[in-house]
Amino acid sequence: MPDSPVVLAATNIRKRFGKTPVLDDVSIEVRAGEVVALLGASGSGKTTLLRVAGGLERPDAGRVVLGTATVFDNSEGIDVPAEGRNLGFVFQSYALWPHMTVAANVGYGLRLRRIPEVEREAHVDRTLDRLGLTGLGGRYPHELSGGQQQRVALARALVYEPPVILLDEPLSNLDANLRESARSWLRETISTLGLSAVFVTHDQVEALAIADRVVLLHGGRVEQAGTPTELYGAPRTLYGATFLGSASTIPVSVAGDRSAAQAQVSAGGTAFVASRRAEASLGNDATVVIRVECVRVLDGDATPPPGGTVLDLVVRTSLYLGERWEHAFTLGGATLRAWGGSPLVAGRTYRVWVPIDGAWAF
């Protein structure tokens, strides 16, 4: 995929609503066959960027290229409207027309494009087949389940075989169980059909699961872009480290240098070793982020694995989460969380192992 041609590039996009910059020099690129997730908190600019790419929103500056065609460039005065960009949209509210059958909903875009009826029907039938909706063309939206409506919305975006589909939080209307199965169905469909897509979501798990690459937006800027494993496993900023995954955030002072990459830190007098992710320099305050799954509570006098620090910490509570327990230990003035298979005794001290490469100092 890194060698596939670029099907969509939005470069140096700037957009303000009034005085507020909503997109501040943002660039994204989608290659053929690739799913790029735009991930970010509510208000980070995801929808605006998607609408800019699709021609529904006019940026103040930047350039949008589809394949080899420039469809927006403010310096050259180019602005091809949405209809001329031929991208497939799937919105959060599926926006199916309730009074039209599934076939009419799916074929609507083709009718607007004045495709003759016979050809249109063939296209619609083929698209319904591809999405596992064979035989449902005569139904009305209210006669379908939430998951089926979701598929119809995707069918409607795919029917004219757009080079890229743009999906804006397409799963957020589904309830939790359906959402998980829809997520894997969507990922599978996108790869089986060889589609290229931009997938907007505020849900980190969804972004990691569905995308080949993730672009994390924060306040209208790209915080970090990379593969899901890069974003999850090697965040470059404190924001990125806390946005993805479940982690404890521990304020520390940097007490010593172990090496260029490792620092001795202290949280209210409790010392441990952390890896430097930024310029956490001697004598300064820093923040250490520790993912919950990295921390281990050691049994009795078990030998700790190499590459970490063993801390004697008091547990305050153990929460039952169903498939596991989550323990809250006091570390300095903060809470260090860890997972385990059984509850611990509140108020008792346990030996807790914190890996150096899982304790990130920013």
Ligand X SMILES: Nc1ncnc2c1ncn2[C@@H]1O[C@H](COP(=O)(O)OP(=O)(O)O)[C@@H](O)[C@H]1O
CB of residue 189 to ligand X, shortest distance in Å: 23
Q: Of 7, 8, 46, 295, which lies in the binding site for ligand X, with binding defined by CB under 6 A? A: 46
| Sole window of 41-49, 138-146, 155-163, 293-301 interacting with ligand X (rule: CB under 6 A) | 41-49
Q: Can you tell me which residue has the tokens 């005085």?
A: 19
Comparison of 24 and 121: residue with beta carbon closer to ligand X: 24
CB of residue 222 to ligand X, shortest distance in Å: 13
Q: Does the protein bind ligand X through residue 48 (CB under 6 A)?
A: yes
Question: CA 149, CA 241: separation in Å to the nearest integer?
Answer: 36
CB of residue 43 to Mg ion, shortest distance in Å: 8
Q: Does the protein bind ligand X through residue 8 (CB under 6 A)?
A: no
Query: Which residue of the chain is nearest Mg ion when measured via CB?
Result: 47
Residues whose CB is less than 8 angstroms from the CB of residue 222 and which lie 6 or more positions away in sequence, other chains included: 26, 27, 28, 215, 216
Question: CA 20, CA 253: separation in Å to the nearest integer?
Answer: 36
CB of residue 23 to ligand X, shortest distance in Å: 8
Helices (H) and strands (E) in the chain, counts: 9, 21
CB of residue 93 to ligand X, shortest distance in Å: 14
HSE, CB side, 13 Å, CA atoms: give it for residue 348: 10
Q: Does the protein bind ligand X through residue 19 (CB under 6 A)?
A: no
Residues whose CB is less than 8 angstroms from the CB of residue 301 and which lie 6 or more positions away in sequence, other chains included: none
CB of residue 213 to Mg ion, shortest distance in Å: 19
| Sole window of 43-51, 144-152, 314-322, 348-356 interacting with Mg ion (rule: CB under 5 A) | 43-51
Element (H, E) at 254: strand 247-257
Residues whose CB is less than 8 angstroms from the CB of residue 254 and which lie 6 or more positions away in sequence, other chains included: 263, 264, 265, 280, 281, 282, 283, 284, 285, 286, 361
Question: CA 266, CA 285: separation in Å to the nearest integer?
Answer: 10
Q: Of 28, 40, 141, 198, which lies in the binding site for ligand X, with binding defined by CB under 6 A? A: 40
Comparison of 17 and 97: residue with beta carbon closer to ligand X: 17
CB of residue 158 to ligand X, shortest distance in Å: 23
Strand partners, 295: none
200: left (phi over 0), alpha (psi -120 to 50) or beta: beta
Question: CA 60, CA 98: separation in Å to the nearest integer?
Answer: 36
Q: Does the protein bind Mg ion through residue 47 (CB under 5 A)?
A: yes
Structure tokens at 243: 């946005």
Q: Of 39, 44, 164, 241, which lies in the binding site for ligand X, with binding defined by CB under 6 A? A: 44
Q: Does the protein bind ligand X through residue 45 (CB under 6 A)?
A: yes
Chain centroid to Cα 267, Å, comes to 32
Distances (CA, A) of 223 to 17, 66, 216: 21, 24, 5
Residues 114-153 that bind ligand X (CB under 6 A): none
CB of residue 22 to Mg ion, shortest distance in Å: 11
| Sole window of 20-28, 41-49, 279-287, 315-323 interacting with Mg ion (rule: CB under 5 A) | 41-49
* Count of residues touching ligand X (by CB under 6 A): 10
Comparison of 36 and 336: residue with beta carbon closer to ligand X: 36
Q: Of 1, 5, 43, 138, which lies in the binding site for ligand X, with binding defined by CB under 6 A? A: 43
Burial 310-322 (b: 16+ CB within 10 A, else e): ebebebeebeeee
Question: CA 307, CA 294: separation in Å to the nearest integer?
Answer: 12
Dihedral through CA 278, CA 283, CA 287, CA 289, nearest 10? 70
Comparison of 172 and 237: residue with beta carbon closer to ligand X: 172
Q: Of 2, 42, 260, 347, which lies in the binding site for ligand X, with binding defined by CB under 6 A? A: 42
CB of residue 17 to ligand X, shortest distance in Å: 3
Residues within the interface to ligand X (CB under 6 A): 17, 22, 40, 42-48
Residues within the interface to Mg ion (CB under 5 A): 47
